[in-house]
Amino acid sequence: MDYRIEKDVMGEVKVPANSYYGAFTERARVNFQISGIRAHKEFLVSLATIKKAAALANMELKQLDDKLGNAIVNAADEVINGKFDSYFVLDVYQAGAGTPFNMNCNEIIANRATELLGGKLGQYIVNPNNHVNMAQSTNDVIPTATKLAILSVIENLTFEAEKLKDSLRNNGVEFNDILKVGRTHWEDAVPVTLGQEFESYAIALEKDIERIISAGQELKELGIGGTAIGTGITTHPKFHETIVNKLKVLTRIDLKTSGNLLEQTQNYNCFVSFSSSLKMLAIDLIRIANNLSILNSGPKAGISEIMLPDVEPGSSIMPGKINPSIPECVLMVCFDVLGKDKTVESAVQYSILELNVMCPIIAYSVLQSMRILANAMKMFREFCITGIEANRERCLELLHKSTAIATALNPYLGYQAVSKIVKEALKNNLIIRDAVLKYNLIQEEDLDLILSPEEMTQPREPDKELVSKIKSSESYRKFLQSL
């Protein structure tokens, strides 16, 4: 491989001759060979967008020569369009604050801008520090790029969450007339419809979407222009306002200036808030995926109230076995998101004096969580939720076997009487309905009304005439005397 020699404050550096990155990137590439994981595309686009906005702002404020500035703008556009993706070679685990990321972008844009002005790679007619990085510091560029990147992908994340919510809601409508036993403490509880269960999942996702959108609002306040520690040293007095306005136009996001740039370099709690909203989405997905797997358990020796779509063989040794593979994958993704949320929490906590230096891992963790959550929800919807079938017969069978429906009799017979009915049903292997009829406590047509889905799955005021009729009967008096 051919090399060119570049010099920095530490001496000479051999850089691949045709590379658009330079000495700083090469040193970082050698130093930080940790994971092989590269920055997300959205983060790189946001970096280049900041460089473009800075050049436009500095030209408008008469701080940067138009010839150099326009070359930077044109080079940044090419970076944004992906022309130089292969030259972003740095690991996401790197020097604090993300100086390697910032300089990697600065060097690529400087070399390409130099080329556009007729120079050669490494000649730096456009200088990475003096021109591309003018009025900026890693300390305000990287957190700003992180915010812009997150804001750019919120729409895709919430789109997938909305689609999943709609699918769950559709199931709720389809299954709304299917009465089944509810469960608490792993034990039978009062009846519920299968549709009510699915609607509750849809509502949970609806709240998660609202939280994500709300948390994203705080990310719109930018600290770009604060430079090293937020004092704005080396910038024009109007630079902060000007670059934020440029970024508003370029990103089409309603970005906001900050009232205190010093606070922006120290306090990254906005990332904790946003990551927490992702965590809550993950927690709901864990609950939903786990519940569906439980309700699907079987097919013969489990609950089997619903049937998940078959997507692949479930065992390398047990012929015909089918597992809840899609929900299991969702769980793995969500556990990873929970871990990344803890990483963000720890990284944000590590803010010392005037600067938090952990933004690279914050950016990677949040963006990765958003990506895998969006992909997982798409998979969950397409390969699981939309194909769920209800096992109506099994729901009814388990409901009749359960003693939990006896709770609906409390307003009519009283707790003590119903307790004896449950005991008798268990002792004699009777369903609750038959136990009530055995003692002639309620007429069959009245019992059917009391145990109907409409009566047992929503608030209902007891029929006072029916209560009076039952409790005045001779059969009821005799039953009470036997308690």
| CATH for 414 | 1.10.40.30
Return the structure tokens found at 139. Answer: 């300390």
| CATH for 332 | 1.20.200.10
Number of H helices, E strands in the chain: 19, 8
**Boundary of a domain, candidates 367, 393, 419:** 393
Q: Which domain holds residue 297?
A: 152-220+265-393
Q: How far apart are CA 23 and CA 266, in angstroms?
A: 29
Q: Residue 338 domain-assigned?
A: yes
Residues 75 and 126 in one domain: yes
Q: Determine which one of 315, 346, 452, 468 is catalytic.
A: 315
Beta bridge partners of 16: 3
Cβ(169)–Cβ(213) below 8 Å: no
**Boundary of a domain, candidates 327, 362, 393:** 393
In 2-137, which ranges are continuous DSSP H helix? Answer: 23-31, 41-60, 66-80, 99-116
> Tokens 């044109």 correspond to what residue?
74
Cβ(374)–Cβ(282) below 8 Å: no
Q: Residue 44 domain-assigned?
A: yes
Return the structure tokens found at 259. Answer: 């009232």
Residues 189 and 289 in one domain: yes
**Boundary of a domain, candidates 326, 361, 393:** 393
Instruction: From 332, 333, 345, select the one nearest 370 (Cα to Cα).
Output: 333
Return the structure tokens found at 278. Answer: 């992702």
Cβ(320)–Cβ(334) below 8 Å: no
What pLDDT tens digit does each residue of the chain (483 aa) get?
Answer: 899 999 999 999 999 999 999 999 999 999 999 999 999 999 999 999 999 999 999 999 999 999 999 999 999 999 999 999 999 999 999 999 999 999 999 999 999 999 999 999 999 999 999 999 999 999 999 999 999 999 999 999 999 999 999 999 999 999 999 999 999 999 999 999 999 999 999 999 999 999 999 999 999 999 999 999 999 999 999 999 999 999 999 999 999 999 999 999 999 999 999 999 999 999 999 999 999 999 999 999 999 999 999 999 988 898 889 999 999 999 999 999 999 999 999 999 999 999 999 999 999 999 999 999 999 999 999 999 999 999 999 999 999 888 888 899 999 999 999 999 999 888 989 899 998 999 899 999 999 899 888 888 889 899 899 889 989 999 889 888 887
Q: Residue 375 domain-assigned?
A: yes
Residues 337 and 193 in one domain: yes
Residues 388 and 434 in one domain: no
Return the structure tokens found at 198. Answer: 């699915």
Residues 199 and 320 in one domain: yes
**Which positions ≥6 away from 461 have C-beta within 8 Å?**
none
Residues 269 and 305 in one domain: yes
Four-CA torsion 370, 376, 379, 380, nearest 10 degrees: -120
Residues 111 and 167 in one domain: no
Q: Residue 230 domain-assigned?
A: no
Residues 169 and 202 in one domain: yes
Residues 295 and 185 in one domain: yes
| CATH for 32 | 1.10.275.10
Report which residue type is found at 327. Answer: P
Element (DSSP H or E) covering residue 352: strand 351-352
- Is 325 among the catalytic positions? no
